[in-house]
Chains A and B, each alone.
Chain A
Amino acid sequence: MITYEWLYILTGGFFLVWSLLSARDAKWGNAAFWGLLSASFLFGSHLSDFANGVLVLALVGIAGLGLLKRSDPATTTLEERQAHSGRLGNRLFLPALIVPLTAVAGTLLYNYTPLSESGLLAERRETLILFSLGTLIALTAAMLWLRPPVLAAAEEGRRLLDSIGWAGILPQMLAALGAVFALAGVGDIIGGIAGEIIPDGSIFLTVVVFALGMALFTMIMGNAFAAFPVMAAAIGIPLLVEGYGGNPAVIGAVGMLAGFCGTLMTPMAANFNIVPAALLELKDQNAVIRQQVGTALPLWVCNVVIIYVGAFLLWT
């Protein structure tokens, strides 16, 4: 059975190559950073929790001291790219489409045919496994078709990776922060405070505080999933559903969407907001957030209205 462990070894191999190429380029900070990350993927499952923790601190130390640099491996010029683009035509899109199509078609095929009974792929892990498979197929197809120099794919990957830099592991680091917050009981404390500041007797104000709590706590945690259980337990269920008799489906579904408005406005949601800014080589790290605030705020107001109308006016 193919499990995540296979993907970790595959990914560890990719990062190992990037580390070695960085070392050859005398970019020692990059070589150490990607080498440690490679070690985390290759050996993480066999290390103690403390050893993994020290590895995390070392990664953060390298990034915090500013030792990660952009790299500039040899690539084609703009004129060469124009020429290739004209010669190869729209067929260039095909390898890029292999990845999402393999992930989507594969997931559907796997779940809606007897294939799922084969137990070939680890349960509920099939999409990421198929995504990785699609990546390998696309890479092989592109290499066979374009016949680039042997190391070109690895070097081009390193060019993109170094333009993302430390932001590449920020989402994983935030997930770890969430785990520590949970261990320390931060959610319970916030839930307790939210419960205390609710005005008595006003349904509309309670809806506003619930939706505001979802958005703000999501902005702090970078993830609406972390905010939802806290706000549902503090306000959504005891006050809105049980106290005022609101429709639980509306409160749950639209409450989560109010949290998503918070996701649009926070650097903590790094994989949606900070990583794309790096990936698109924007000068302003917060440029994506700036474009999203104008959508998120009116949409949050819509969510408040939808909860109030859907869960109370239409329901009772």
Chain B
Amino acid sequence: MNYLPLAGIAIVVAGFALRFNPLLVVVTAALATGVLAGLDLVAVIEALGKAFNDNRYISVTWIILPVIGLLERYGLQQRARAVIEGIRGATMGKLLTIYLLFRQITAALGLTSLGGHPQTVRPLVAPMAEAAAEKSHGALADEDREKVKAMSAATDNVGLFFGEDIFFAIASILLIQGVFESYGYPLTPLQLSVWAIPTAICAFIIHGWRIRSLDRRLGRAGA
């Protein structure tokens, strides 16, 4: 077997580790992999162009930026903070845990678009978490502010990933079903989606605990 195409993977790993521009790393890896697999350079460039063109739908979502930018111009983030500051007993831990649960449950119902980084994390969740953390711990050091924002983004990801597979009409469930069917194991989407529940519960417990411990660490640093 020709193992040379694996050099592409090595390029990806090394490129990211050495902090080269990721676009450059990805395209270099693609060209190297194709050529080492014995394709000629023109064919690899064609494959790259076709795939980039076929996947344009991924970048359509950026058209939301003017809406978010415009609302920010009129104080959306400040409003999100004000709401949290007005709630008695609001802490970052409680807020992000509630968002985690909300994201998992809505994703499990197939409502995966009710959330996301441009739509909810930047304009709402991150400023709310920051306001809640400042409310209980006082002004945050820059480093802690970064951690709170990063944890807000992480909470959105964890909630989405370990909620959506409970919904049986999601792409990943259909992919699993398709792969097993092609090997002669017919499964229903429902058979698969119930097995996403134990992991979803573990994800809630583990990530919820980590949110709480970050909140407590901030408290200790502030004291």
User: Residues of A contacting B203 with CB < 8 Å?
Assistant: 295, 299
Are B22 and A131 within 8 A (Cβ)?
no
Cβ of B19 to closest chain A Cβ, rounded Å: 8
Contact of B114 among A100, A181, A260, A283 (CB under 8 A): A100
Interface residues of B in 170-223 (CB under 8 A from A): 171-173, 175-177, 179-180, 183, 185, 187, 191-193, 195-196, 198-199, 202-203, 206-207, 210, 214
Are B162 and A257 within 8 A (Cβ)?
yes
User: Residues of B contacting A181 with CB < 8 Å?
Assistant: 5, 8, 30, 33
| Residue among A4, A143, A179, A263 facing the most chain B CB atoms (10 A cut-off) | A179
Contact of A156 among B66, B118, B124, B177 (CB under 8 A): B66
Closest to A91 in B: B79
Cβ of B10 to closest chain A Cβ, rounded Å: 10
Tell me the bound Cα distance from A264 to B53 in angstroms: 27
Judge whether A135 is part of the interface by a CB distance below 8 angstroms.
Answer: yes
Judge whether A243 is part of the interface by a CB distance below 8 angstroms.
Answer: no
A14-B63, A96-B124, A104-B111 as given contacts; A291 in contact with B147, CB under 8 Å: yes
Tell me the bound Cα distance from A284 to B19 in angstroms: 12
User: Residues of A contacting B162 with CB < 8 Å?
Assistant: 257, 260, 299
Judge whether A248 is part of the interface by a CB distance below 8 angstroms.
Answer: yes
Are A53 and B119 within 8 A (Cβ)?
no
Tell me the bound Cα distance from A11 to B126 in angstroms: 27
Are B52 and A249 within 8 A (Cβ)?
no
Are A52 and B53 within 8 A (Cβ)?
yes
Closest to A52 in B: B49
Closest to B193 in A: A253
User: Residues of B contacting A253 with CB < 8 Å?
Assistant: 165, 173, 176, 192-193, 195-196
Judge whether B122 is part of the interface by a CB distance below 8 angstroms.
Answer: yes
Cβ of A187 to closest chain B Cβ, rounded Å: 10
Judge whether A8 is part of the interface by a CB distance below 8 angstroms.
Answer: yes
User: Residues of A contacting B13 with CB < 8 Å?
Assistant: 220
Are A228 and B176 within 8 A (Cβ)?
yes
Judge whether B18 is part of the interface by a CB distance below 8 angstroms.
Answer: no
Closest to A257 in B: B199
User: Residues of B contacting A206 with CB < 8 Å?
Assistant: none
User: Residues of A contacting B5 with CB < 8 Å?
Assistant: 181, 184-186, 189
Tell me the bound Cα distance from A52 to B44 in angstroms: 12
Tell me the bound Cα distance from A100 to B156 in angstroms: 15
Are A92 and B63 within 8 A (Cβ)?
no
Interface residues of A in 161-185 (CB under 8 A from B): 161, 164, 166-181, 183-185
Are B157 and A7 within 8 A (Cβ)?
no
Are A299 and B202 within 8 A (Cβ)?
yes
| Residue among A99, A148, A174, A303 facing the most chain B CB atoms (10 A cut-off) | A99
User: Residues of B contacting A85 with CB < 8 Å?
Assistant: 74-76, 78-79, 82
Are B165 and A257 within 8 A (Cβ)?
yes
Are A176 and B21 within 8 A (Cβ)?
no
Are A160 and B150 within 8 A (Cβ)?
no
Are B114 and A249 within 8 A (Cβ)?
no
B-facing mask of A237-276, CB < 8 A → 1, else 0?
1000100000011101111110010011001101111111
Shortest 5 CB-CB distances between A and B: which pairs? Answer: A156-B69, A53-B49, A85-B75, A52-B49, A179-B51
Q: Assuming A161-B65, A176-B51, A180-B51, what are 6 further A-B pairs, CB within 8 angstroms?
A: A41-B59, A45-B53, A104-B114, A139-B70, A153-B69, A253-B193
Q: What are 12 A-B pairs with beta-carbon distances under 8 A?
A: A37-B59, A84-B75, A85-B78, A92-B75, A95-B67, A139-B70, A143-B70, A146-B70, A172-B52, A180-B34, A270-B22, A284-B150
Q: Which residues of B contact A (CB under 8 A)?
A: 1-3, 5-6, 8-9, 12-13, 16, 21-24, 26-27, 29-30, 33-34, 36-37, 39, 42, 44-79, 82-83, 111, 113-124, 126, 146-147, 149-154, 156-158, 161-162, 165, 171-173, 175-177, 179-180, 183, 185, 187, 191-193, 195-196, 198-199, 202-203, 206-207, 210, 214
